[in-house]
Amino acid sequence: MTDPYIILPVLLHLLTAILLIFCWKKVRAQKIISVAGNLVIVLLAFGLWMKVWNLGILTMQGGGWEAPFGITFVADTLSATLMLLTAIAGLAVAIYSCAGITKNRIQYGYFPIVHFLLMGLNGAFLAGDIFNLYVWFEVIIISSFVLMTLGGRKPQLEGAINYVTMNLLASVIFLTAIGILYGLTGSLNMADLSIKIANIENRELVHVTAILFFVGFGIKSAVFPLYFWLPSSYNTPPSAIAAIFGGLLTKVGIYALIRVFTLIYIPDSFLKGVFLFVAGATLVTGAIGALGKTDIRRLLSYLIICHIGYMLAGLALYTEQAMTGALFYLFHDIVIKTNLFLIAGLIYKIAGTYKMSELGGIYRRYPKLSLVMAAVFFSLVGIPPLSGFWPKLYLISESLNSGSYILLASILIASFITMYVIAKLWAEVFWKEPMVVTDLKAAGFDALSNFKKQLLVIPVIALTALTLYMGFGAQHIAVLAERISTELFHHQPYIDAVFEPKN
């Protein structure tokens, strides 16, 4: 069904960013505009999600040019759900930023850039044209690079250089793949490619482009062996920024992988083997990387890598059940990783350090807050019936069914190491004897006004509530993930929606 209004969340982010640039030096106005803009976008995204849920796939042809020639935007259930989650994460981060980001950073354009980043994410989820997808990826890279370097401290720049080098490399590979694909088929529209790629005689070249896409998106979503840019760059910016990165940036790579390898390519046994190996290796190496870390955010960065493996495992097994698990994990992961980095920022505000050896006694000082955080940690580990448990159940049962015992072992190893690492974190940070406050200037949580405290705590509580809902209301999420999984594996409706004759 054609609907010109699916693009509205993207446009509204742009509008918010423009208004924010008008208020360049007015910190207070920027905070209000950003939170208000995000609030409206959450409502819009929810409306879009409802519409897609009820009416099926919605499309929009940019400029009114019809499908294989114009730029198509498609909102299927996967896109709409991811946009909704992005909007929620964006709102949480915007509220948190009002108290968690220094005035100086805001005056150098923190809020407008965040909105450009969110616009890029929304655009990437909607893109129905592979080159358009590339353009949105560039929007994301440029804005995230600016966010990462904002403040200009030396470790930030080091991390950012790593980040931008690897991501530009990934973009080059991605663009090469698009170029070859265009040479082969003469089309860039993903629905059109889906039809045309099946009729190409030169299968070797098709496989080469498939591998190129996998490498390009793989670097962006930080899978084995090209993930080293992630831990070095995610632990340098302020926590609110790290929360957007951790929650959303790698996930857009996974989204692109899922989209490309269900719609355009159908992986053959060789490609599935590669996916299986990479998924297992990502799970194990990411988990092992998290083992020895003493800095909370470094630890979380490795956990991001490790957990990307679960989503890739779902794609590698390539059955509807496994994909359901991967999608469930994706939704769970967006919320929980955003929340974890916000929590890390909160701990920093309370204690003035990210080093686990210097932290301690938070449970004694803030028992209620600690319980909220505990709920998040338990969900991450996947204690039944919390949200991390259900997707793993899907993945484990599917890997048993398909006889991929090595993947099964990797999943279990990764789960146990995650549990061990989080238990250690809990013991060190919350239960250990109270620490000596090292950096009084950063440790200003008690000195903050009540309102600012609430600004920091409310997003964490809200995201925790969402995580708990995903755990206790798992049947709703499972129904959603199953529907998306079916849509992905039977993509004829997607193609029909794109090529629907104009009315």
Partner 1 sequence: MNSIILRTASNYLLPMLILFSVFVLLRGHYEPGGGFVGGLVAAIAFVLHSFAHGLKETRRFLRIHPGVFIPIGLLLSLISAVLPMIGGQSLMTGLWFNEPVPVIGLIGSALFFEIGVYFVVFGVTLTMLFTITESV
Summarize as ranges the residues that interact with partner 1 (CB under 8 A): 4-5, 7, 11, 14-15, 17-19, 21-22, 24, 60-64
Nearest to partner 1 of 18, 371 (CB atom):
18
Nearest to partner 1 of 21, 447 (CB atom):
21
- CA-to-CA distance for 258 and 455, rounded, in angstroms? 35
Q: Is 238 left (phi over 0), alpha (psi -120 to 50) or beta?
A: beta
- CA-to-CA distance for 453 and 71, rounded, in angstroms? 45
Q: Minimum CB separation from partner 1 for residue 14, in Å?
A: 6
Nearest to partner 1 of 22, 53 (CB atom):
22
CB atoms within 10 A of CB 397: 14
Kind plus residue range of the DSSP H or E element containing 84: helix 77-100
Q: Minimum CB separation from partner 1 for residue 348, in Å?
A: 32
- CA-to-CA distance for 395 and 398, rounded, in angstroms? 5
Tell me the CB-side half-sphere exposure of residue 1, using CA atoms within 13 A: 12
Nearest to partner 1 of 15, 266 (CB atom):
15
Two structure tokens written together for 370: 């600690």
Q: Minimum CB separation from partner 1 for residue 270, in Å?
A: 41
Nearest to partner 1 of 7, 409 (CB atom):
7
Two structure tokens written together for 394: 């899907």
Q: Minimum CB separation from partner 1 for residue 241, in Å?
A: 22
- CA-to-CA distance for 224 and 283, rounded, in angstroms? 8
Nearest to partner 1 of 71, 466 (CB atom):
71
- CA-to-CA distance for 290 and 302, rounded, in angstroms? 5
Q: Minimum CB separation from partner 1 for residue 495, in Å?
A: 19
- CA-to-CA distance for 317 and 489, rounded, in angstroms? 13
219, with CB counted inside 10 A (0-12, 13-18, 19+), is buried
Cβ distance 408 to 321 under 8 Å? no
Q: Minimum CB separation from partner 1 for residue 71, in Å?
A: 9
Nearest to partner 1 of 126, 311 (CB atom):
126
Q: In 58-200, where does DSSP find H-type helix?
A: 77-100, 103-107, 110-126, 130-149, 154-185, 190-196
Q: Minimum CB separation from partner 1 for residue 6, in Å?
A: 10
Q: Minimum CB separation from partner 1 for residue 5, in Å?
A: 7
Cβ distance 171 to 213 under 8 Å? no
Give residues with Cβ within 8 angstroms of 198, minimum separation 6: none
Give the largest Cα separation in the chain, rounded: 70
Tokens 């949105």 sit on residue: 136
Q: Minimum CB separation from partner 1 for residue 129, in Å?
A: 14
